[in-house]
Amino acid sequence: MSKNFKTNEKLLNSMVHNGSQSNSVSQVKLQASVKRVLNNRSVQKALEQLATE
């Protein structure tokens, strides 16, 4: 995975964390969703395309 992609993941995870500290259940669900999206092949390709433009 590209360095930029890892940065995107960190950023998204911190956004998720900051946005839902009060509700840990929804936070865990959100993080799982973020991970699923980030692990999606076509999403990875799209992010890498954006990064190289």
**pLDDT value of position 22:** 60
The dihedral region occupied by 49, where left means phi > 0, alpha psi between -120 and 50, and beta the remainder, is: alpha
**Number of continuous H segments (helices) and E segments (strands) in the chain:** 3, 0
- pLDDT > 70? residue 34: yes
This model's pTM is above 0.75: no
- pLDDT > 70? residue 37: yes
pLDDT tens for 4-28 read: 777 777 877 776 666 555 667 777 8
Torsion of Cα atoms, 35 then 38 then 42 then 48, to 10°: -170
CA distances from 41 to 8, 15, 21 (A): 15, 22, 29
**pLDDT value of position 2:** 63
Q: Are 13 and 31 in contact (CB under 8 A)?
A: yes
